[in-house]
Structure 1
Amino acid sequence: MRQEERKTIHAAIIGAALFLLIQIFRTPLGHIEDKDVLLAFYLILGCCTVAFGFAIFAQGWLLFSNKLSKARLYTSALFLGVCIFDFLHVLSFAGIPGIASYISYEQSLWLLTFSRLASALGIVFIFCRADQPVSVDSKHKVFRNSFLVILLSAALFGFGNLIVPGLAGYPWVETVRDLMNMAVLFVYLLGVGIIVYPGKIEKSASLLIIIRSLVFFALAQVFFMNLFSVGDLDYLFGMLSSGVAYYLLLTGVYRLTIEEPFQENQQAEARINYLAFHDDLTGLPNRRRLMQRMEEIVIQSEKDKSRGFSGLVIMNINHFKNINDSLGHYAGDLLLQLVSQRIGSEVRVNEELYSMGADEFAFLMTERTGLENCLVRANELLRLFETPVSLESGEYHISLSLGMSIYPGDGDTAEQLIQNADTAVHNAKEQGVDIRRYIPAMQMKAKERLKLENDLRRALERGEFYLVYQPQVLLETEEIVGMEALLRWNHPKRGLVSPVDFIPIAEESGMIVPIGEWVLRTACQQNKTWQNAGYRPICVSINLSMRQFLQPNLAGKIGAILQEIGLDPSYVDLEITESMTLDKETAFDQLNRLKRLGVCISIDDFGTGYSSLHYLKNMPIDRLKIDRSFVSEVMEDSNNAAIVSTITSMAHHLKLKVTAEGVENKEQLHFLRQQHCHEAQGFLFSKPVKAEEFELSFLKPLLEMPS
């Protein structure tokens, strides 16, 4: 239980105990006959109560004007009126000359009753509702309304001042006041109940203080009601309880409307500041914080030349995009958290781990003796991932690429050091190595890559792409039965750009989607053109990228293109890779939608991925394409020969066709025939050629062959 909750319970117990003790000792207390002393104490307590009431008004209306809220303004306006009437009651009740002659004893009691009733109803109305901030205009509006209420109360008091003396002899007047006092007590207790309910919701410390004030208001009202008459001491203890209630209310209002909002703002600012310098997913300091830290290191090193080397390592998860795309973003986020935890658990003194966003992390090493020491530590980080990472769908082996920059030497500013380390890690990924330290030549290559990406974005609209076609032959007869459409880029200044150079850039930038759609449309249109020219219909194979395959409307797009061109779907073969099928549910759903179009589906580069044979047998595919890396060394490497033989045999049992890629000599062709491979493509038959040459070399001869 929180401390404020205990205080609230203790306040209720103390109030009840105080009342009971007074009732127990009411006989000896009743013998106190010096009424002047009692009235003096009453006057002192009453003035303290009025002072607290005015403090509530001053705190809400005059102080902290930049922290306005409706609860503050209404409370201050309420207690401005209440403390005025309390002050008049205290002065008249104590018999102060000049006041008592205008306000009689009976009128004084009515003032007290109306004051308690107003405070009870006002507190319940104000604090049983959600508080809201207000503008300066609202403040004036509340003040105006409150002033009208005060004027109305004064008018009622003036009217009552005329009526009450004439009703003094009627017994029912006392009964009415007693009923009003009981109603006031009920309202105070009702306020406690409303604020406390529902009990399961945790109350703020300020509301608990206000509840305590209501408890003492209720206790004061019990004394004022004088149910167990012990003389003027009832009013004295009632005023004492009122003073405690006013003080608690003053404290509670301050905390509710000023202190707690200020603390909430501080917490919000701290949270914003935390988010500004930390990664929300991993909780690690982010790039902005790394920039600050590197700037500190540079400044400290300039002041103290004896400081050791500092090494900055940027770490990138290899093939993270495939995992994220195939297993889903939840699995990708989980992988990032597991990677950060595995590295973070190995952080030592003078080492710091940062998140750079996406799939990149930064590892900062300070106070190092030299480059060799940094390289040794970087290799230790790589070995952390020799064991697989466990995700919900299974265990996965992942690897990292590391790029390193050293200070001093690889940059004079924090920005240069981070950028150079980032350049080094991208160079490591391109070169297929684990670790690369930054060298200036990498910067030139990075700039070239950026320029190539910019050129790639304009290549499609400028018509710089074209297709080449490589024939696919039936091994049994060496007859042309199909062709694969391959993308080429004729750059206006660079000339022919290798697909190895621009396809990865297109994938990373997202340009592969519009480019892939252009390839699909162009290849299908070319195939339909040849069919319209009277050539024997053959199938055209078209590669799909991961980004294309994951499009939810892919089947609809392809169907619309085929319908627009008028090409029979059976003459289209869509090639996917094994990595696209890691997310089995998504892959099966997409493949089934594509199959309903009537197209053929092949798995390209089969054997290089991680397809499960259990899923493979249920997958709606038509063909396996054996990767060229196995075919090229089939005569020199018995393991490759065994792999090709196994894939071919498995495909036959699954009633799938098999196409071998990269066939370059007769020995390979002979081996594939022995394995009963259905089809093949490679330089032995033809390199990829443009549409005109393909038509002359392979389609026209088909016209002379019997159908």
Structure 2
Amino acid sequence: MEIRKEEKSTIIQGSLGLLAMLGVVYLSTAIDTPVISASARLAMYLLAGLMYGAVAFAVFAQGWMLFTDKLSRQRLYSAVLFFIVGTLDVLHIATFVGVSLFGFMPGYTVSAWFMLLSHLLGALGMLFIFSVPDKQVSMRHKAAAFSGASVLLLVGIVLLYKYQFQLPQLLGNQAPGTTKQAVWIVVPFLYTLGIFAILYRYRKERPPAALTVVCALLFMMIGHILLTAAEPFDIGIAHVAGEWFTAISYYYVLKGVYRLTIEEPFRGQQLAEAQMMHMAYHDDLTNLPNLRRLKERLAGHLVPEGRTGLYTGVAVLNINRFKAINDAFGYRAGDKLLTDLGARVSRRCLPEEGVYRMGEDEFAVTIPEYSDPRAIEIRALQLLKSIHPAVTIENTEYHISLSMGLSIYPLDGQNVEQIIQNADMAVHNGKEQGLEFVRYTAAIKNQTQSRIELENDMRKGLEREEFFLEFQPQVSLDSGRVVGMEALVRWNHPRRGVLSPGEFIPVAEDSGLIVPLGEWVLRTACSYNKKWQDDGYTPICVSVNLSMRQFRQHNLADKVDCILQEVGLEAKYLELEVTESMTFDIDTAFEQLQRLKRLGVHISIDDFGTGYSSLYYLKTLPIDRLKIDRSFVKEVMLDGSGAAIVSTIAMMAHHLQLKVTAEGVENEEQLEFLKLQNCHEGQGYLFSKPVPAGLFERRFLTRIAG
């Protein structure tokens, strides 16, 4: 185990103290004629006594007057103890030099008793104080402790005064069992117990303050041994050294108690405050400065005084398809990607630039104080190109792409909030357009405002029932009969007319409105299907797309079941379409799909082949159908690769006993090719585009009935 610096220092100090004690004992016994005169030794003795008396009362004052609102049990009891010990030490010195205090008889006997009682109480007190757990105490506790100590000290002094003439009988030196020898043995034992108690209590992490108290106890023990070992009781080298060891030990007590009960808690509080400040201004995951720190730092660069003609840029970086990575590999992989990217951007930045995490998958870089705004654009592009796109996830290397939006002060905004907001708008605008880098313009702000207005209109549209469904037939390629239908949502906007899903579904997904919209689509599609069955039409299955947000709902199966029960539609006439990206987390997807299958609904994989395909999940997940994406169907007569993909998917589905539906069938050549591949069903403009419910009923359901 590695020994820390403080522990080494304690060991060295303790060793030097023990060596000094042995040296003093040797000198006091080996040298017959003292080198230092008796008067000099007496002066040194008295000086040491006065010093440790003063330090003892300093310990008392520390507990009585300093930081009384944060008084701890250890500090309080130490103050009480040294109030008693200091008083006894003063009486010891006074009676030793012939001063009569409170009527005590001056001389060796009474002085020795005061000294022995001081040492005994000191040893017992230190053992008790540092053996019990420490905690905060109240002012009432403080008053009670000092009142009790004063009464105890007064009683003790009165008893000593009353029996002072009988004390010499208890200090005889002729027998090993005398009181003095007993105290000489017991006190070092108590000090040793105190040392072990402290070391055991702080065995996991030994703070410097605790080690200081250990030194204090060791020096108190050495001082006691030197003061009480030699006979007769004269002012020899051992006694002088004992007094000085006691003075040093009291200083260590003062220092140790202060550090243990005041300094270290204060430093701990400072450390906690610093950690809280760090947490307030830094991101937990990447440890980069956060948006709050970005605003503060950026404010310093945007101060106009003395910086006329200088420009500062804010570039916002966004990871493309970050949600898909999270869905595919889990949040741990996403966290690793964010941490890794933050480190890469930091390494590529210049010293005057700063990197910040704005939230989720966005980072910001400040590019301060250029004289030419074009230079900021060049630097931002240089930074974007320098970031290595490869990332390793689960031992496999993938390439990520980034988008960057840039705004420049004061051209693109007049304050911190505007500059950051405009850079963020620019990056999102670039992602929507598939661009890698976009500089903010006023047109971007207009587009963003339009998007916000569309989101607000969508909330109102759900309340006002502005949405409606269209249905596209699904046709059996063998019989040519309509065997199913897909429900597709449309929006009759009050000002902009009928909007296709591509215009409002991305807004719904970003805002979370996709969940209530998806539930409305599901309920409405089931209601139409049930109505048509009640009207006597041949029952067919209706397909409804699930969004990612819907699929992640833990109570999705309960909601679907509730809608089916509410509408009265049998579960076998409902098919739920999920995308491959929803099945990346195989365990979660399996549990969710199992809950849905237990209801009796059908499950299909929509746009199959465009995402992360795995034979493992195909044979594991409880699915009924694969829907071949229209992009492959479109190319079957133009590209051999497209034809091979469609053929492979169809063959694989047959082996797995899954049905196959081809989307986007637009001409007879495609239809004939799909028939050769034994596709079960087709869907596309060759049969019909999506049509309103009434037209679907008249054009297709009546034909089935006929």
Give 1:372 shift. Answer: 4.5
Q: Which of these residues, 679, 682, 685, is aligned with residue 684 of structure 2? A: 682
Counterpart check, 1:142 vs 2:137: no
Equivalences for 1:651-666 in 2 at 5 Å? 651-666=653-668
Give the equivalent residue in structure 1 for 2:451. Answer: 449
Structure 2, unmatched stretches of 5+, are none
1:549–1:35: structure 2 CA closer, same or farther, 3 Å change rule?
Answer: same
1:434–1:27: structure 2 CA closer, same or farther, 3 Å change rule?
Answer: closer
CA–CA distance in 2 between the matches of 1:370 and 1:204? Answer: 56
CA deviation profile, 1:416-467 (whole Å, cap 9, x unmatched): 1111101101111121221111111211221222232233344434433333
Give the equivalent residue in structure 2 for 1:259. Answer: 263
Give the letter aligned to residue 254 of structure 1: Y
Give 1:140 shift. Answer: 4.3
Give the equivalent residue in structure 2 for 1:504. Answer: 506
Which region of structure 1 is more displaced relative to structure 2, 411-420 or 95-104?
95-104
Equivalences for 1:96-135 in 2 at 5 Å? 96-97=99-100, 101-102=104-105, 105-134=108-137
Give 1:83 shift. Answer: 0.8
1:100–1:506: structure 2 CA closer, same or farther, 3 Å change rule?
Answer: same
Give 1:537 shift. Answer: 1.6
1:102–1:689: structure 2 CA closer, same or farther, 3 Å change rule?
Answer: farther
Give 1:164 shift. Answer: 4.5
Give the equivalent residue in structure 1 for 2:48. Answer: 45
Give 1:216 shift. Answer: 0.4
Give 1:55 shift. Answer: 1.3
1:458–1:76: structure 2 CA closer, same or farther, 3 Å change rule?
Answer: farther
Give the letter aligned to residue 626 of structure 2: L
Give the equivalent residue in structure 1 for 2:281. Answer: 277
CA–CA distance in 2 between the matches of 1:490 and 1:292? Answer: 45
Counterpart check, 1:157 vs 2:157: yes
Give the equivalent residue in structure 2 for 1:605. Answer: 607
Give 1:663 shift. Answer: 2.3
Give 1:474 shift. Answer: 0.8
CA deviation profile, 1:164-188 (whole Å, cap 9, x unmatched): 5236436699723432443322221
Give the equivalent residue in structure 1 for 2:594. Answer: 592
CA deviation profile, 1:580-607 (whole Å, cap 9, x unmatched): 1222232233333333333221111112
Give the equivalent residue in structure 2 for 1:416. Answer: 418
Q: Which of these residues, 16, 29, 48, is aligned with residue 18 of structure 2? A: 16
Give 1:640 shift. Answer: 3.1
Give the equivalent residue in structure 2 for 1:78. Answer: 81
Give 1:384 shift. Answer: 4.9
Give the letter aligned to residue 238 of structure 1: G
Contact 1:11–1:215 (Cα < 8 Å) also in 2? no
Q: Which of these residues, 697, 700, 703, is aligned with residue 701 of structure 1? A: 703
Give 1:90 shift. Answer: 1.2
Equivalences for 1:176-191 in 2 at 5 Å? 176-191=179-194
Give the letter aligned to residue 405 of structure 2: G
Which region of structure 1 is more displaced relative to structure 2, 218-227 or 362-371?
362-371
1:115–1:30: structure 2 CA closer, same or farther, 3 Å change rule?
Answer: farther
Give 1:192 shift. Answer: 0.6
Give the equivalent residue in structure 2 for 1:516. Answer: 518
Give the equivalent residue in structure 1 for 2:462. Answer: 460
Using the aligned pairs only, state the percent identity: 48
Give the letter aligned to residue 484 of structure 1: E
Give 1:399 shift. Answer: 1.3
1:654–1:385: structure 2 CA closer, same or farther, 3 Å change rule?
Answer: farther
CA deviation profile, 1:536-556 (whole Å, cap 9, x unmatched): 221111111112222233334
Counterpart check, 1:58 vs 2:61: yes
Give the equivalent residue in structure 2 for 1:25. Answer: 27
Counterpart check, 1:235 vs 2:233: no
Contact 1:93–1:100 (Cα < 8 Å) also in 2? no
Give the letter aligned to residue 308 of structure 2: K
Give 1:374 shift. Answer: 3.9
Give 1:231 shift. Answer: 4.2
Give the letter aligned to residue 288 of structure 2: L
CA deviation profile, 1:128-180 (whole Å, cap 9, x unmatched): 3444345xxx1343133222222122113312322352364366997234324
CA–CA distance in 1 between the matches of 2:205 and 2:517? Answer: 58
CA–CA distance in 1 between the matches of 2:277 and 2:649? Answer: 57
CA–CA distance in 1 between the matches of 2:204 and 2:22? Answer: 32
CA–CA distance in 1 between the matches of 2:679 and 2:104? Answer: 121
1:689–1:180: structure 2 CA closer, same or farther, 3 Å change rule?
Answer: farther
SS in 2 for 1:312: strand
- What do you get for the CA RMSD once the two structures are aligned? 2.8
Contact 2:24–2:241 (Cα < 8 Å) also in 1? no
Counterpart check, 1:341 vs 2:347: no
SS in 2 for 1:468: strand
Which region of structure 1 is more displaced relative to structure 2, 94-103 or 143-152?
94-103
SS in 1 for 2:657: coil
CA deviation profile, 1:191-242 (whole Å, cap 9, x unmatched): 1101112675121111111110111011112123326767443433222111
Give the letter aligned to residue 116 of structure 2: T
Give the equivalent residue in structure 2 for 1:166. Answer: 166
1:256–1:198: structure 2 CA closer, same or farther, 3 Å change rule?
Answer: closer
Contact 2:345–2:387 (Cα < 8 Å) also in 1? no
CA–CA distance in 2 between the matches of 1:657 and 1:622? Answer: 6
Give the equivalent residue in structure 1 for 2:204. Answer: 201
Give the letter aligned to residue 117 of structure 1: L
CA–CA distance in 2 between the matches of 1:579 and 1:418? Answer: 32
CA deviation profile, 1:297-320 (whole Å, cap 9, x unmatched): 222x5523354x433211111121
Give the letter aligned to residue 92 of structure 1: T
1:687–1:444: structure 2 CA closer, same or farther, 3 Å change rule?
Answer: same
Contact 2:583–2:589 (Cα < 8 Å) also in 1? yes
1:376–1:629: structure 2 CA closer, same or farther, 3 Å change rule?
Answer: farther
Counterpart check, 1:291 vs 2:295: yes
Contact 1:182–1:225 (Cα < 8 Å) also in 2? no
SS in 2 for 1:356: strand
Give the letter aligned to residue 51 of structure 2: C
CA deviation profile, 1:60-82 (whole Å, cap 9, x unmatched): 32234565433323322321222
CA deviation profile, 1:396-427 (whole Å, cap 9, x unmatched): 33211211112331112222111110110111
Give the letter aligned to residue 46 of structure 1: G
Give the equivalent residue in structure 1 for 2:250. Answer: 246
Give the letter aligned to residue 74 of structure 1: Y
Q: Which of these residues, 614, 617, 632, is aligned with residue 615 of structure 1? A: 617
Give the letter aligned to residue 185 of structure 2: M
Q: Which of these residues, 210, 216, 231, is aligned with residue 213 of structure 1? A: 216
Give 1:122 shift. Answer: 2.4
TM-score (ref. length: structure 2): 0.92
1:668–1:215: structure 2 CA closer, same or farther, 3 Å change rule?
Answer: same
SS in 2 for 1:684: coil
Counterpart check, 1:525 vs 2:494: no
SS in 2 for 1:178: helix
CA–CA distance in 2 between the matches of 1:79 and 1:305? Answer: 67
1:30–1:688: structure 2 CA closer, same or farther, 3 Å change rule?
Answer: farther
Equivalences for 1:433-582 in 2 at 5 Å? 433-582=435-584
Equivalences for 1:291-330 in 2 at 5 Å? 291-299=295-303, 302-307=305-310, 309-330=311-332
Give the letter aligned to residue 187 of structure 2: V
CA–CA distance in 2 between the matches of 1:107 and 1:457? Answer: 94
1:19–1:645: structure 2 CA closer, same or farther, 3 Å change rule?
Answer: same
1:617–1:76: structure 2 CA closer, same or farther, 3 Å change rule?
Answer: same
Give the letter aligned to residue 280 of structure 1: D
Which region of structure 1 is more displaced relative to structure 2, 668-677 or 399-408?
668-677
Give 1:615 shift. Answer: 3.3
1:38–1:689: structure 2 CA closer, same or farther, 3 Å change rule?
Answer: same
Aligned length: 699
Contact 1:4–1:209 (Cα < 8 Å) also in 2? no
1:219–1:229: structure 2 CA closer, same or farther, 3 Å change rule?
Answer: farther
Structure 1, unmatched stretches of 5+, are none
